[in-house]
Structure 1
Amino acid sequence: MLGQLMLIVATIALLHAAYSTYEHLSHLKALGRPEGTLPNDILLEAFASLFLAIVGATVRSPPLREVTWRSEMKRRAQEEEEDPRLSFANFAQRTGLVTKAQS
């Protein structure tokens, strides 16, 4: 819930920073000075929204899973009763079929 709220606030802040940038550049163009730097408050708002989005996405993400061979074999053994081997083990069996079909 907190992560979702942070992402929504970050999106709104980023859209506001984009609108403020458009307005600032339109103002500079009306004055006849098309080149110029952005004000610091717009830059700060854009970077704050980026930081808030990163933190919100991190908080919202599910917990990381263990990616070791042992944990994979435990998970596969529970899912597949007859053959808990990894799916890429079948490629060695398929190579014989491919060479016979091309001959």
Structure 2
Amino acid sequence: MFGDVMLFLASFATLHAAYSTYEHLSYLKALGRPEGSLPQDIVFEALAALILGIVGSAIRTPELREVTWRSEMKHRSAEEQDPRLSFTTFAQRAGILQTPSAS
């Protein structure tokens, strides 16, 4: 739940920083000075939103699962396994790969 709140705040702060940037650039354009740097408060707000978003998404992610055969077999029975998965034959493709002889 805490991660959800952080992600919401990060989204809101990002949108607010974008709107503030638009307003600032519109103000500069009205003054006839289209070039200029962004105010520090907008930059800090965008960086804070980035940090909140990273921390919120890291908190919200589910716990990682083990990806070994042993951990998978804890949840499955031997009857659910297909014994033929590891057996593959390429004999049917052998005719396609051979080129005809030029005799």
Fold-level similarity (TM above 0.5)? yes
Question: What is the total number of aligned residue pairs between the two structures?
Answer: 97
Q: Match for 1:67: what amino acid?
A: V
Q: Which has the larger radius of gyration?
A: 2
TM-score relative to the length of structure 1: 0.78
**Residues 19 and 45 of structure 1, relative CA distance in 2, 3 Å threshold:** same
**Residues 85 and 65 of structure 1, relative CA distance in 2, 3 Å threshold:** farther
RMSD (Å), alpha carbons: 2.5
Q: Match for 1:99: what amino acid?
A: A
Give the aligned partner of residue 61 of structure 1.
61
How much has 1:86 moved relative to structure 2?
9.3
Alignment partners' CA distance in 1, 2:69 and 2:93 = 29
Determine if the alignment matches structure 1 residue 25 to structure 2 residue 18. Answer: no
How much has 1:68 moved relative to structure 2?
3.4
Alignment partners' CA distance in 2, 1:86 and 1:15 = 53
> Where do 4+ consecutive residues of structure 1 move more than 4 Å?
84-87
Give the aligned partner of residue 97 of structure 1.
92
Give the aligned partner of residue 38 of structure 1.
38
Q: Percent sequence identity over matched residues?
A: 54
Alignment partners' CA distance in 2, 1:85 and 1:42 = 60
Give the aligned partner of residue 50 of structure 1.
50
Alignment partners' CA distance in 2, 1:47 and 1:15 = 12
Alignment partners' CA distance in 2, 1:6 and 1:85 = 47
Structure 2 gap segments, 5+ residues each: 99-103
**Residues 60 and 80 of structure 1, relative CA distance in 2, 3 Å threshold:** farther
| Aligned with 1:78 (options 76, 79, 88) | 76
Bigger proportion of residues as helix: 1
Give the aligned partner of residue 9 of structure 1.
9
Alignment partners' CA distance in 2, 1:4 and 1:85 = 43
